Structure 1
Amino acid sequence: MPTYFISDLHLSEDRPDIIRAFLDFMQQQASQADALYILGDLFEFWIGDDDKTAVAKQVEQAIKILTDSGVACYFIHGNRDFMVGKAYAKRCGMQLLEEEELVELYGKKVLILHGDTLCTDDVGYQEYRAVTQKRWLRKLFLLLPLFVRQRIANKIRSKSKQANTSKSLGIMDVNQQAVEQRFADYPIDYMIHGHTHRPKIHSLGQAQGQTKYRVVLGDWYQQMSVLKIEPDGLSLSANHQLEKLELAQ
């Protein structure tokens, strides 16, 4: 059975069509998998594990049904849902991973991450990210009433959208040196990430006689992107198109 990867669904009550697409995917495809990896930004924003919205509950139920059936589910935080905690993960039956995780898939070593840490040219975002990673600030945020956290989240989303309109696409994409550094730091065959919403299988040239690859997942608001990995290779779907890569054993 295959292993699936998804990211950047940005689920919210504003897009019931995307919620429905996610639920259909969980029932029809993920249920037939070895495992499902969610590489961040599953939600448009997460304000705490005590969030009782219908979206949070629907997703929880869908993942719990999956994990109860024996399919493992793994989650890496994104820049929108970095507050997803152990309590919600436990209710779902999914396992939280580190922001950069080395896994082995069908005999290949793979680095998986959300991808925002690779966008080092976006200095403003990296400064914002450094602040949000502070544990004391997260704990303080979770002490606030739920409605206050929601207001703060709405303001942050609004400012983020305004800031991104003034940034070039190049600044918001990954930095090539950052990518090359990961391949130098880890003994990997390929890398998988999301965040940039630019689905593609990139060939990075050869190292030690083997071609290295970077696989980028797309979003779901426009592309409905899913990565399917099997023993003989992988296929990346986005925009109703399919890109395949055969992996030498």
Structure 2
Amino acid sequence: MDLPVVFISDAHLGVNTPFCVANREEKLVQFLNQLRGKISHLVIAGDLFEFWFEYRDYVCRNHFELYFSLRELVKSGVEVHLLQGNHDFAYEDFFPKTLGVQVHKQVILEVQGKRVLCCHGDGVAKSDKGYRVMRKILDFPLNRKLFKLIHPDWGMSLARFVGSSSRKAGETRVINMDEYLEWAGGAMKKNCCDYCVLGHHHIAGVWPVKNGVVASAGDWMKKLTYVQMEAGELALKDFL
């Protein structure tokens, strides 16, 4: 029998608000360490970090235990996939070259006799028009080069300030799950997939739709939840 596949999302490591689970990064490392040799794939469906930007000679030192855990997971034979989110879209080669972690905007896995479309889910909702424009600005190569000229400490501080401001603005936003489910159903049909796993909205669940099944692992901030695929079925689970 195939080993299970695990999906997590939206840890937003690097920020701690009053509603966050205490020591959640330490708990995440503990969770990853116990997966060695027990799963075939780990998919991190975006926003692992509150902010990520790679400089030539700089890596954020606050997450070394996490880096080590991911590297050891890869060395144990687990295929680890990290998806770009709307907070941590600026990955370059540190994760693939140093840790052996594969980085994607989206990926389709063929596991346990199923085709699984994995993506973060940012920008897919019809109400995200403003975000889609902003993302194009942030992704523009010249803007990336200009940001690299900022000292890493200043850049991280600026990004955290912008992130906290956008988080406060989004606290009153109503999530329309039908928009995500509609998009996922169409994406599964287009890509001939059975399942779609996404994140971004922080709502945990498994939803049967017309063209397959949609799942979200929720987040690793308020609740330490994850999705596990075993014997071709998706199930939502809690850590601790």
TM above 0.5: yes
Partner of 1:76: 83
Q: 2:5 aligns with which of 3, 11, 28?
A: 3
Offset, 1:177: 4.1
Cα distance between partner residues in 1 of 2:136 and 2:46: 17
Q: TM-score, normalised by structure 1?
A: 0.84
Contact 1:18/1:220 (<8 A) preserved: yes
1:199 equivalenced with 2:204 (yes/no): yes
Q: Is the 8 A contact 1:194 1:216 kept in 2?
A: yes
Give CA-to-partner distance per residue, 1:11-53, whole Å, 9 cap, x none.
1264761111111111112542112111111111113255444
Structure 1 residue 5 displacement after superposition: 1.0
Partner of 2:130: 124
Whether the 8 Å contact between 1:102 and 1:109 is mirrored in structure 2 is yes
The aligned residue for residue 58 of structure 1 is 65
- Superimposed CA distance per residue, residues 176-212 of structure 1 (whole angstroms, 9 cap, x where no aligned partner): 543333133211111111111111111113x5xxxx1
Q: Is the 8 A contact 1:7 1:217 kept in 2?
A: yes
User: Which amino acid in the other structure matches residue 148 of structure 2?
Assistant: L
Work out the CA distance in 1 between the residues paired with 2:205 and 2:87.
22
Once the two structures are TM-superposed, the CA of residue 88 in structure 1 deviates from its matched residue by 3.5
Identity of aligned residues (%): 27
Q: Which has the higher contact order (CA 8 A, sep 6+)?
A: 2
5+ residue gaps, structure 1: 241-249
Instruction: Quickly say closer, same or farther: Cα 1:195–1:238, change in 2 above 3 A.
Output: farther
User: d(CA) in 2 for partners of 1:129 and 1:234?
Assistant: 31
Task: Give the secondary-structure state (helix, strand or coil) at the position aligned to 1:150.
Answer: helix
Question: Shift in Å at residue 163 of structure 1?
Answer: 2.3
Q: Which runs of 4+ in 1 moved over 3 A?
A: 13-16, 49-54, 172-177
Report the Cα distance in structure 1 between the residues aligned to 2:103 and 2:25, rounded to whole angstroms. 21
Mapped contact 1:4–1:30 kept (Cα < 8 A): no
The 5 Å alignment of 1:45-194 reads 45-49=51-55, 50-97=57-104, 99-170=105-176, 174-194=179-199
CA distance in 2, matches of 1:174, 1:139: 34
Q: 1:43 corresponds to which letter in structure 2?
A: F
**1:219 corresponding residue in structure 2:** 219
From the superposition, tell whether residues 113 and 13 of structure 1 become closer, same or farther in structure 2 (CA, over 3 Å): closer
Aligned partner of 1:231 in structure 2 is: 231
RMSD in angstroms over aligned alpha carbons? 2.3
Secondary structure in 2 matching 1:200: strand
Determine the C-alpha separation between the residues in 2 that align with 1:187 and 1:88.
Answer: 29
Name the SS of the counterpart of 2:23 in structure 1.
helix
Q: Give, as a single letter, the amino acid of the residue that structure 1 aligns with 2:237.
A: S
Q: What is the CA-CA distance between 1:142 and the residue it aligns to? A: 2.0
The one-letter amino acid of 1:70's match is: G
- 1:23 corresponds, among 24, 29, 49, to 29
Q: Go from structure 1 to structure 2 and tell me whether the alpha carbon gap of 1:176 and 1:28 turns closer, same or farther (over 3 Å shift).
A: closer
- Paired residues, what number? 233
Report the TM-score, using the length of structure 2 for normalisation: 0.86
